[in-house]
Amino acid sequence: MNETLRLLYDKFYTPLPMVESEQEVETCHRQLIERLEKPERKLVLRIMDAQGLIAEERSVDSFICGFRLAWELANELNHFETNRHPSPEEETEMDA
């Protein structure tokens, strides 16, 4: 099921444009590259990659949780409507 939801996420999710934030990250990244030695640069890149993966996984998890919530609400509403309106036979019994 999670794989199906992941495919739905990939199909329908459109990332928000975050031009200012992306430019700030790029600017800070360039400053770090200029100031750090190669081992430290690799470490910073690993941190950035890990943070990107965390953000992506959280986004997918949020989508899946929202989808499941919507599914449960729809199911609950369906049962609510079914249980709320008596059938014609029940209406006749109530009138008697």
**Could you tell me the pTM of the whole model?**
0.63
Total domains present in the chain: 1
Q: At what angle do helices 38-84 and 2-12 cross, to 10 degrees?
A: 100
Does residue 6 belong to any structural domain of this protein?
no
Question: Cα separation of 62 and 70, whole Å?
Answer: 12
Does residue 2 belong to any structural domain of this protein?
no
Q: Provide the domain limits for residue 89.
A: 18-95
Q: What's the whole-number mean pLDDT along residues 52-81?
A: 90
In the chain, what are the helix, strand and coil shares in percent, each to the nearest 5?
85, 0, 15
pLDDT, tens digit (0-9, with 9 covering 90-100), for 2-45: 888 889 888 988 888 889 999 999 899 889 889 999 999 999 88
Does residue 89 belong to any structural domain of this protein?
yes
Give pLDDT, residue 56: 92
Does residue 65 belong to any structural domain of this protein?
yes
Higher pLDDT, 89 or 41: 41
Tokens of 4: 């199906």
Tokens of 26: 């790029």
Q: How far apart are the first and last CA of the chain?
A: 49
Does residue 7 belong to any structural domain of this protein?
no
Closest-CA residue to 32 (of 42, 19, 20, 18): 42
Does residue 69 belong to any structural domain of this protein?
yes
Does residue 53 belong to any structural domain of this protein?
yes
Write down the mean pLDDT value for the chain.
85
Does residue 10 belong to any structural domain of this protein?
no
pLDDT at 84 over 80: no
